[in-house]
Amino acid sequence: MDSAAALPVDRPLLALLIRVKMRSLWNRVVKAAAEAPIRVSLGAFLVALIWLGLFGLFLMVFSQIQESTPLEATVAIPLIYSLFFATMMIMLAFSNAIIVHGMLFSRQEAEYLLSAPIRPRDLVAVKFFESLLLASWSLILLGLPLMMAMAQRTEDNWFYVLFLAFFACFIPIPASLGLLFAWLTARFFPRNALRAAAFALGGALVVAVIWCMRAIRMREMATDVWLRSFLQRVSFVESALLPNNWIARGIDHALNHQLTDALMYLAVTAANALFLSWVVVWLVSHHFGPAYDRASTGGRGGRRDPVDASGGICGRVFFYLPLPLRLIAAKDLRTFFRDPVQYSQLLILFSLIILYLTNMPTLQRELGHSTYALVIPLLNLCATCLILATFTCRFIFPLVSLEGRQLWFIGLLPLSRGRILRAKFAFAMTVALLVTCAAIAYGAMMLDMPMVWTGIHLVTTVAICFGLCGLAVGVGARMPMFDQPNAARIANGLGGTVNLIASLTLTTCVITAVGIATWHSRNLHPEQVPAIGDLILCGSAAGISVCCGLLALQMGEAHFNKVEV
Amino acid sequence: MEPAIVLNGVCKQFGDNVAVSDLSLEVPRGELFAFLGPNGAGKTTTIKMIAGLLRPNRGEVYVCGHRIGADGLAAKAKLAYVPDLPFIYEKLTGREFLHFVAEMYGLSKKRRDELLERLVNRLDIGEYLDELTDGYSHGMKQRVVLAAALLHEPAVLVIDEPMVGLDPRTVRAVKDLFVEHTRNGGSVFMSTHTLEVAEAVADRIGIIHRSELLALGTLEELRRQAKQQHSLEEIFLQLTEEGDG
């Protein structure tokens, strides 16, 4: 019975752990391809679509800068690289921190591996690699079109190889910072670690918004003066000690056919990335036990002051609902705001929108009352509605399925199931309307949009909110996954895919209708009311959106009524 | 030969809440030890300290003479831990998971296949061993995890609520496996609420209540301590009620 005693202790098992992860990934891909080919194809199609869109955008930005201000472009383009990688570094560090914190301190896998004779170094290293790959796909998604757009400026084929090498050498730096942040959070802030991370991210975004608002105060300046002033403000990202600057300079040298200099920056990036990774993995693995212990023993939910089920801020938000529905909607809102994983994503999405809208006035002023003056608000509307579609697919769609384990309880409530669905819909509409209408109104204010177009956009937003929320709740009730407790997996299931396709189609149709009306009005003064035909087109699109929502709710209710408890 | 498990004045606090208070306990080799207690008494915390997942605020834990913390890897090499919610990689088949465990503990392929064949037959898991584990029921997962725990013939098996979700036939098979494991010189430290199982197979029983060890001994010794000749259930209820008083 002492066979284990003969085992060599302290064997390196990193290779074995990596093999298991690779095997799991392979099995997952094979299963997804066999069971859900449509979902996989749709995912690939959407990624390609995003990729192409970004490629076009980057190409346009670089050409625009090169053509309109060739002198400034010499300075601006390297700065754009530097800013891009600085932003990516912050975002990747945060996403790595959140992912690796979950992997090391919350999941059962870590507990299982810690009880096995595996060195903490191997466990930390494999989780570091895993989070690095999971978090960095966004950089690949954004980075590849950036590379392709930049490659239009060079004819050297080795540029692609060099660019990929720069990426590979760069990503361990934010991943190391993320691992360090996750460990510090677990070691010193064991209570509500994710909430701490969400607040830190929120704080960083607020600082970014304030900084951008200061930058755009220069709105009365001419373009070249504004650009020079702006370049001066952001020049701090070009500090020689910052990794984003090494990679930006390296790429710039590569684009200018200075291979030796590019390789020197590549070597600097690689050396620092390796050293930082080694130091952080060593530090975290040597002090992993106390951090795990604190994270495991300090994470109680925290006491809250008792409030009536229909009371508090959550209850008051739904003041317009009858009491039973208010109770259910307030319960959903409380659950949402007590889960940092959920609300932090919403916070990030809409903070980015606000950041983007805050930066709009400068561009709008340059366009004046030209053909494109209404295009920017239309793009804002499009971006806001697409983000809303993402939100409803990810967070609203799983709501009905998540009640699966409480279905017996819901079945016993003195409420018809249709009313329960309507409570979910009211919850979704309230949150969606508050956030999207605020974003659209803020955008309109920043762009000094004419009243008539502000009205059209707000009505469209309300209609899209209705349609998307109706679809999410209705399809969620029509195609539920009651046995799945994980919201992300529910959203990724067949019903989630159907909802995603329907939501994107609906959003595209409505925005296209508003786009057509915008195009027809391009020669009118912005204050002028569009032609009656265009108003009817926008109104019809809004009506279709509302009808889609109602139809989906009705179908969902019909099915939900038949589900056996 | 050193005892399988030694807990020496172990204390564990979660903030102001004392989860385990001054617990001293010794489990010799070849013993099946049942650890009983009401919910929140400190059973799982104790088990996690033995498995090296939590660190005691005070006191020491030894597994086969190796101190957890200072000599943790050597201790873990001799130990298998099965939590109340068993972990299994969802995108591996049962067989791939068991091969992973065998390799983690350094078993040769020949030895692995011999042991695996025996466990597959005993736990009746052959039918679904080549399917992905994400489709397993709780009972199926529990059986594969038990096979994984026993695969490397650990000197100490620490298991939290082993019988939850198992059908009567498998409960019987698991009880037999535990008894066989102790007959071969291994030790089992089992936390359970299923008092009939503890009564039927445990060599000694410990009862923990409100973070303190209330009683320790064989069933006969517990009966003497409780001054009654009834079932373990009644002894348990009497001792924990006295603890409340």
Each residue's pLDDT tens digit, A104-160: 987 789 999 999 999 999 999 999 999 998 888 767 777 778 777 777 766 666 777
Same domain? A532 vs A403: yes
Pick the residue with more confidence: A204 or A257?
A: A257
- Mean pLDDT on A435-442: 87
CB-CB under 8 Å, A23 with B55: no
DSSP A475-503: HHHHS--TT---HHHHHHSHHHHHHHHHH
Name the band, by pLDDT with cuts 50, 70 and 90, for residue B97.
Answer: very high
B91 touches A: beta carbon within 8 Å = yes
Q: What is the pLDDT of residues A175-204, one digit of tens each?
A: 999 999 999 988 887 555 556 666 666 666
Dihedral sign, Cα of residue A484, residue A486, residue A492, residue A496: positive
Question: Would residue A12 count as lying in a domain?
Answer: no
H/E element, A525: none
Angstrom distances, CA of residue B88 to CA of A296, A410, B42, B206: 20, 32, 25, 29
Tokens of A536: 């009817």
pLDDT, averaged across chain B: 89
Among the partner-chain residues A3, A111, A292, the one whose CB lies closest to the CB of B153 is A3
Q: Which long-range contacts (CB under 8 A, 24 or more apart) does B121-129 make?
A: B122/B173, B122/B176, B122/B177, B123/B147, B123/B170, B123/B173, B123/B174, B123/B177, B124/B169, B124/B170, B124/B173, B125/B94, B128/B94, B129/B93, B129/B94, B129/B95, B129/B98
Q: Are B81 and A111 in contact (CB under 8 A)?
A: no
pLDDT at A518 over 90: no
DSSP label at residue A156: -
Q: Are B11 and B59 in contact (CB under 8 A)?
A: yes
- Residues facing residue B63 across a β-bridge: B5, B66
SS3 annotation, chain B: CCCCEEEEEEEEEECCEEEEEEEEEEECCCCEEEEECCCCCCHHHHHHHHCCCCCCCEEEEEECCEECCCCHHHHHHCEEEECCCCCCCCCCEHHHHHHHHHHHCCCCHHHHHHHHHHHHHHHCCHHHCCCEHHHCCHHHHHHHHHHHHHHCCCCEEEEECCCCCCCHHHHHHHHHHHHHHHHCCCEEEEECCCHHHHHHHCCEEEEEECCEEEEEECHHHHHHHHCCCCCHHHHHHHHHHHHHC
Provide the shortest C-alpha distance from residue A33 to chain B (in Å): 14
Interface contact B53-A7, CB threshold 8 A: no
Same domain, A249 and A320: no
Instruction: Using the structure block, give the residue that is written with the tokens 């066989």.
Output: B180
* Residue A253 forms part of a structural domain: yes
Shared domain for A292 and A321, answered yes or no, is no
pLDDT band of B60, cuts 50, 70, 90: very high
Exposure of A221 in the CB half-sphere (CA atoms within 13 A):
12
* Mean pLDDT, residues B172-195 taken together: 91
Which distant-in-sequence residues (6+ apart) come within 8 Å of B64 by Cβ?
Answer: A5, B2, B4, B75, B78, B79, B155, B156
Are A384 and A282 contained in the same domain?
Answer: no
User: Could you say which of A7, A108, A292 has the minimum Cβ distance to residue B87?
Assistant: A108
Whether A451 and A506 map to the same domain: the answer is yes
Q: Do B106 and A7 touch (CB under 8 A)?
A: yes
State the helix-helix crossing angle for A120-151 and A70-105, rounded to 10 degrees: 160
Query: Exposed e or buried b for every residue in A106-139, given b needs 16+ CB within 10 A?
Result: beebbbbbbbbbbbbbbbbbbbbbbbbeebbeeb
Per-residue pLDDT at A305? 56
Percent of chain A at pLDDT exceeding 90 = 25
Domain extent listing, chain B: 29-42+80-203+210-244
Spatial contact of B21 and B58, defined as CB atoms under 8 Å apart: no
Report d(CA A268, CA A241) in Å as an integer.
11
How does pLDDT run across A391-418, given as a tens digit for each residue?
A: 899 889 998 888 877 777 777 777 788 8
Chain B residues near residue A493 by CB distance under 8 angstroms: none
Tokens of A220: 């009365």
Considering the domain boundaries, does residue A377 fall inside one? Answer: yes
CA A69 to chain B, closest CA, distance in angstroms equals 54
Q: B189 touching A, CB under 8 A? A: no
Are B81 and A115 in contact (CB < 8 Å)?
A: yes
Asked if residue B32 lies in contact with residue B188, where contact means CB atoms within 8 angstroms, the answer is: yes
Return the CATH architecture of domain B29-42+80-203+210-244: 3-Layer(aba) Sandwich (3.40)
Does A348 fall in a domain?
Answer: no
Which chain B residue has its CA at the smallest distance from A10's CA? B73
**Domain range for residue A47?**
36-191+239-297
The more confident residue out of A305 and B234 is B234
**Range A7-16 average pLDDT:** 77
Which helix (H) or strand (E) segment holds residue A256: the answer is: none
Confidence band, pLDDT 50/70/90 cuts, at residue A56 = confident
pLDDT of A82: 81
d(CA A109, CA A107): 5
| A99 is a domain residue | yes
Is residue B141 a contact partner of residue B86, using CB atoms and an 8 Å limit?
yes
Distance CA A268, CA A261 (A): 11
pLDDT at B112 over 90: yes
Test A289 with B69 for CB contact under 8 angstroms. yes
DSSP result, A391-452: HIIIIITHHHHHTGGGHHHHHHSSS-HHHHHHHHHHHHHHHHHHHHHHHHHHHHHHTT--HH
A-chain CB neighbours of B186 within 8 Å are: 1
Confirm whether A418 is domain-assigned: yes
Q: Does the pLDDT of residue A32 top 70, yes or no?
A: yes
The rounded distance, in Å, linking the Cα atoms of A526 and A452 is 8
Number of folded domains in chain A?
Answer: 2
- Average pLDDT on B45-70 reads 92
Q: Is residue A69 part of a domain?
A: yes
B14 contacts chain A (CB < 8 A): yes
A285/A373 same-domain check: no
Q: Do B105 and A7 touch (CB under 8 A)?
A: yes
- Range picked from A200-204, B66-70, B153-157 for highest mean pLDDT: B153-157
A522 shares its domain with A416: yes
Chains A, B: CB contacts within 8 A come to 106
pLDDT band at A5 (very low <50, low <70, confident <90, very high): very low
- Nearest residue, CB atoms, A5 vs list B76, B96, B155: B155
Indicate whether A251 pLDDT > 70: yes
Pick from A4, A8, A115: CB nearest B155: A4
Q: Specify the length of chain A in residues.
A: 565
What digits encode the pLDDT tens for the residues A539-565? 999 999 999 999 999 999 999 888 775
- Cβ within 8 Å, pair B103-A7: no
pLDDT over threshold 90, residue A284: yes
Report the pLDDT value the prediction gives residue A4, as an integer from 0 to 100: 46
Considering A54-58, A139-143, A447-451, B56-60, the range whose residues carry the highest mean pLDDT is: B56-60
In a domain, A353, yes or no: no
Work out the average pLDDT over B103-114: 91
Quick count: other Cβ atoms within 10 Å of Cβ A22?
A: 10
- Is A13's CB within 8 Å of B105's CB? no
What is the C-alpha separation between B7 and B61, in angstroms, rounded?
5
pLDDT band with cut points at 50, 70 and 90 for residue A216: low
Q: Are residues A381 and A320 in the same domain?
A: yes
Q: Write the pLDDT tens digit of every residue in B71-83.
A: 888 999 999 999 9
Which pLDDT band holds residue A371 (cuts at 50, 70, 90)? low
The predicted model gives B54-73 an average pLDDT of 91
